[in-house]
Amino acid sequence: MRTQFDVIVVGAGNGGLAAAATTARAGLSTLLLEKHNVPGGSASTFRRGRFEFEPSLHELCSVGTKENPQKIYNIFKELGCEIDWRYEYNTFRAICDGEDGYDVKLRAGFDNFCDDMEKAVPGSRESVKAFFDLVKKNDEALAYVYEKKGNPNPLVMLFKHADFLKSASHSTEEVEIALGMPEKARNIMNTYWGYLGVPTDDLNAMHYLSMVGSYVDDGAAMPYKRSHELSLALEKSITDAGGEVWYNAQVSKFLYKEDGSCCGVQLQDGTELYAKEIISNIIPNNVYGMSDPKFVPEKELKLANARTLGMTFVTIYVGLDCSKEELGIEDYTIFKMPFPNPREQFNRREEGTYYVFNCLNEVIPDASPKGTCMLFFTVPLMPGDLPENLTQYNYKKWKNELAEVYIKDCEKSMGFDIMSHIEEISVATPVSFARYLGTPNGEVYGYQNENWDSVINRSQAQFTDFTVPHLHYCGGHSVMGDGFSSAYITGHDTGIRVVNSIKGGK
């Protein structure tokens, strides 16, 4: 058995798959190690009866189309992956209860979005347009910073990209207030906070603007055959290029040389594997737990302790014995909120019913057998939100009762008769995610992107925060924060960096 490689990647999640495909296709001997028997981590699939469920992906941003390809489209293309992309051209419908409540639907496309917002909040058009103008200016500034490989000329930044400099360190709400956006329009605009897990008064403006801009510009994309299609395509890219993917291969230890550089990993069965470069798709907290403490830099431990673990979810997957038309479902994504303000939605999450409702058949009509449809409820939780008295004996009762609360709320507020049509139902909780992904407290979103720990700050500090030679990180916990797109981008970028360091390029 071969035990020496150029590159070992630990974890076949989105980030690990993209990293391994990049290094394998560059001709480096690459080994990808995954503890499960299938690739993908969160990007997977599961069956219950005659339904094949998407476990995680609501919608993917920054994909674009063949005619107008964006970052993710290009990464898959570059890695030789053919994906059958399907698109949704409404951004979302948002239903909010209470006196200040609303029920609005916003279409993708900057003009459409501005029109729909103006209809919902008369007088908001100018500020919403200014928001999207800023998105474009930010994109131009970032393209320049990228072109200069992170070392932009300060004078060019000052004179050409001043709006970026002014907004980049502020929270989303500070920027929206500066643009004169009315409170109701801010609340609607900030509906997507749940996709990043941080309320918009503490979420970096540049990060949020760029995510919203990308959904509004291109619409959202989904692979036809669930996110498993993406994982299988990347796995094929790796093996076609001569890389190896080992399943049922759980890493239990990271190995170091006496000089402190990382040189390999040990599997649960004791097998030791060595490589010039190691890429971890698993969160640094877990890597430290699998390393001899003397090789873990104190600064990295302090950073891990200072950070807040990101969001997790309760997810309810439902297969119904009737079509979406019979139920009157016309939307792919509906955000249901008990309060209009994101901070209140976050702070009072245990009192209310904040959730995202999805019906995959709206975008992929034949996602389930004819005459049926599938629903997916996502309820955000923070690590530690589980009831204190939760035990293995009352766990099932707790999760089923919770599912009932959300399904009944949906029936009441959206008018769909769900209960009498349930053919299959499955409920996942942070406990499921902790067991499946191996993440601390079942987080699925890496570390919280609070403004002090934003993408901007992480990018600037990425080479000084993590200093163990030959050990690299990619995935939802790394520089760009959570999400499919960021995991693919960081995986691909890390792969390129490793190729350059082994082959001596720049």
Ligand X SMILES: Cc1cc2nc3c(=O)[nH]c(=O)nc-3n(C[C@H](O)[C@H](O)[C@H](O)COP(=O)(O)OP(=O)(O)OC[C@H]3O[C@@H](n4cnc5c(N)ncnc54)[C@H](O)[C@@H]3O)c2cc1C
CB of 487 to ligand X, least distance (A): 4
Q: How far apart are CA 425 and CA 427, in angstroms?
A: 7
3-state SS assignment for residue 217? helix
Per-residue mark of binding to ligand X, 406-435 (x: CB under 6 A): ---------------------------x--
The two three-digit tokens of residue 317, written as one number = 């997957």
Q: How many residues does the chain have?
A: 506
313 part of the interface to ligand X, by CB under 6 A:
yes
Q: Which stretch binds ligand X (CB under 6 A): 4-12, 77-85, 232-240, 396-404?
A: 4-12
Nearest to 384 by CA among 345, 452, 432, 431: 431
Distance of CA 330 to the CA centre of its chain: 25
Q: Which stretch binds ligand X (CB under 6 A): 41-49, 119-127, 162-170, 496-504?
A: 41-49
266 part of the interface to ligand X, by CB under 6 A:
no
Buried b (16+ CB within 10 A) or exposed e, 95-106: bbbeeeebebbb
Q: How far apart are CA 106 and CA 118, in angstroms?
A: 10
CB of 304 to ligand X, least distance (A): 16
Q: Which stretch binds ligand X (CB under 6 A): 34-42, 160-168, 294-302, 396-404?
A: 34-42
Instruction: Select 92 or 132, whichever has its Cβ closest to ligand X.
Output: 92
Q: Which of 273, 375, 437, 468 binds ligand X (CB under 6 A)?
A: 437
Number of residues that bind ligand X (CB under 6 A): 39
Q: Which of 29, 36, 201, 395 binds ligand X (CB under 6 A)?
A: 36
Instruction: Select 181 or 277, whichever has its Cβ closest to ligand X.
Output: 277
The two three-digit tokens of residue 30, written as one number = 């690459």
7 part of the interface to ligand X, by CB under 6 A:
no
Q: Which of 14, 167, 200, 494 binds ligand X (CB under 6 A)?
A: 14
Could you identify the residue written with the tokens 């419908």?
Answer: 93
Q: How far apart are CA 276 and CA 297, in angstroms?
A: 20
Q: How many CB atoms lie within 10 A of CB 247?
A: 15
* Beta-sheet pairing, 373-381 with 312-320: antiparallel
Instruction: Select 138 or 286, whichever has its Cβ closest to ligand X.
Output: 286
Could you identify the residue written with the tokens 């720990």?
Answer: 453
160 part of the interface to ligand X, by CB under 6 A:
no
59 part of the interface to ligand X, by CB under 6 A:
yes
CB of 356 to ligand X, least distance (A): 8
Q: Which of 484, 493, 495, 497 binds ligand X (CB under 6 A)?
A: 484
Q: How far apart are CA 308 and CA 201, in angstroms?
A: 16
Element (H, E) at 237: helix 228-240
Q: How far apart are CA 14 and CA 34, in angstroms?
A: 12
Q: Which stretch binds ligand X (CB under 6 A): 133-141, 318-326, 436-444, 448-456?
A: 436-444
Inter-residue contact 437 to 444 (CB < 8 Å): yes
CB of 227 to ligand X, least distance (A): 8
CB of 37 to ligand X, least distance (A): 10
Q: What is the 3-state composition of the chain as percent helix, strand, coil, each rounded to the nearest 5? A: 45, 20, 35
Question: Between vectors from CA 15 to CA 78 and to CA 490, what angle results, nearest 5°?
Answer: 75
Q: Which of 9, 32, 57, 238 binds ligand X (CB under 6 A)?
A: 57
The two three-digit tokens of residue 254, written as one number = 């990271």
315 part of the interface to ligand X, by CB under 6 A:
yes
Residues that bind ligand X (CB under 6 A): 10-16, 33-36, 41-43, 56-60, 250-251, 281-282, 313, 315, 378, 433, 437-438, 444-445, 475-477, 482-485, 487
